[in-house]
Each structure stands twice: as C-alpha cells, then as structure tokens.
Chains A and B, each alone.
Chain A
Amino acid sequence: MSDELIRALSCVRVSPEDFDLGAEVAALRAGDPGVGAVVSFVGTVREWQAAPSGGAPARMELEHYPGMTERSIAELIVRARARFDVRGVRVIHRVGPLAVCDQIVLVAVTSAHRHQAFDCASFLMDWLKTRAPFWKKETAGGESRWVDARESDERAAARWSQGEGEGEGGA
C-alpha cells in the first residue's frame, strides 16, 4: 500500500456514529495558514415517502463492504489530490440504521482558493456515489426495498472522466 493511500485512509471514517460538521471542519483547517477556502457537503436522509398516520416512522439501513469501503474512498481521495490543488480532505460516511433527517455523509475540503475546493468536493461525491460499496435499504409502511442505482449518478461521475486517463493529453 502506497504512502499516499495510507495517508488518504486516515482521512476516511466509516461508522454508525453521527458527526459534527463544525467540529470536523474546524479540525480540518486548524493551524493551516495556507487555507483560504473551506467547502463541505453533507448528505442527509430525505423523506422518500410520507409517513403513514399512526404507523412506524420510515427508516433506512445502510449496508457496506467493510475494508473495501474505506479503501475505495481512500483511492478516490488519492485521485482527487492528483487532480485538484487542495490541502485537507475529510470523508465520513455512516452505516447501519438511519432515520429521516439524519446525516449520512460528509465531504469536506480545504484549499487556497475556492474553485479547487468546490470541484474537489463535487468530484469526491460524484465518484463516491458510483464506486464506494454502500447500499441503502428503505423501510416504510411495513415494506422494505433496496434503493435502485440512478443513471443520473453515473452521468455525474462520467463528466469527470474527461481529462483523465487517455484523454489527459500527455504527461
């Protein structure tokens, strides 16, 4: 495992625990005078079906592939660092049971100037949604179903492929 990947792994947390956006961002930029921009994205559990009156509240279960999950996100961070001029990166993803309005995922990035941080955070989320092994199962009104992958997410990730790999235009 490369030093880059080991370093990236230390930026990733996958666990059932909730996170504090303010504390995470404060820690990410603490003591770094080169930071001029902080961008964070928080994904939350959206209500996908109105709760039936008197019924059990809707809930979500997030399954993942322990080990591969952390590693796949770390690999995305290594790619992102090669592509964007950023300073700090933090990715937190929750697993296990979640309720509507709960936080699911945090991507936070610091950089000298805003565009690199915005683009890096967007890149990480787009690729995380299509590459990291998580699966959502929704339960509401006594019925459960696995969430279907969305074609629009694949398209969102694919737009970053321009300029990567063969299309990079030489060294």
Chain B
Amino acid sequence: MSLTIRYFASVREKLGSQEAVELSALASPTVGALHDWLTQRSDAHAAALSPERGLRTACNQALCDADQALADGDEVAFFPPVTGG
C-alpha cells in the first residue's frame, strides 16, 4: 500500500512537509495504526507525533479519527489543532 503522508505547522517543521511510505506490515491499516508505525521510524517522528501534542488527522483532505481505514493511494495528514480565523 502506497501512502502520501503530509505534515503541517509545528509537525512540518520537525519532519518536513511530506513523505511517501510503502506499508505492508499493518494487518488492518487504519490512521491510528499508521500513526503508531510512523512513531517508530525515528526519534524525531516519535517526538513530533507524540499523543500529548493533541494532533489532528485528515484522510484525503477530510478530518478523520484514528479508526479511519486506509486504502492504496490515500493522502494522510497529521497536524496540530487549527488556529485560523
């Protein structure tokens, strides 16, 4: 499964704006499982994607929860709570 991962704001500053990942290891691919897999990639990932940061997630540019199922080609984004307006 090929996924595009995108990061914004403080997460982007730590991990870059995007990366492509090939996932075959996940038995049931969800946004939550992807998050856990990403945190094991490096110390920087673990720090930037720490649950204490209250991150939000989006799948294919729509806000989603951790149980959102993933499909090949999906774009998944991780970012801090939004502060526009």
Residues of A with Cβ closer than 8 Å to B? 43, 62-65, 67-68, 71-72, 93, 104-105, 125, 128-137, 146-149, 153
Q: How far is the CB of A124 from chain B (nearest CB, A)?
A: 10
- Please tell me if B70 contacts chain A, counting CB pairs below 8 Å: no
The reply to whether B85 and A65 contact each other, CB–CB distance below 8 Å, is: no
Q: How far is the CB of B8 from chain A (nearest CB, A)?
A: 6
Residue of A nearest to B81 (CB): A149
A135, B13: Cα distance in complex, Å: 13
Residue of B nearest to A125 (CB): B85
Residues of B within 8 A of A148 (CB): 81, 83
Q: How far is the CB of B64 from chain A (nearest CB, A)?
A: 11
- Please tell me if B27 contacts chain A, counting CB pairs below 8 Å: no
Q: How many A-B residue pairs have CB under 8 A?
A: 75
The reply to whether A65 and B77 contact each other, CB–CB distance below 8 Å, is: yes
The reply to whether B85 and A105 contact each other, CB–CB distance below 8 Å, is: yes
- Please tell me if B1 contacts chain A, counting CB pairs below 8 Å: no
Which of B62, B81, B84 neighbours the largest number of chain A CB atoms within 10 Å of its CB?
B84
The reply to whether A135 and B85 contact each other, CB–CB distance below 8 Å, is: no
A120, B75: Cα distance in complex, Å: 32
A132, B10: Cα distance in complex, Å: 16
- Please tell me if B58 contacts chain A, counting CB pairs below 8 Å: yes
Pick 15 A–B contacts, CB within 8 A, sort by A. Answer: A65-B79, A68-B62, A71-B61, A72-B61, A125-B85, A129-B85, A132-B82, A132-B84, A133-B77, A133-B79, A133-B82, A134-B83, A135-B9, A146-B9, A146-B10
Top 9 A-B residue pairs of the complex, sorted by shortest distance between their CB atoms: A134-B84, A149-B81, A68-B61, A135-B9, A129-B85, A147-B83, A136-B83, A146-B10, A132-B84
Q: How far is the CB of A68 from chain B (nearest CB, A)?
A: 4
A147, B61: Cα distance in complex, Å: 22
Residues of B within 8 A of A153 (CB): 85
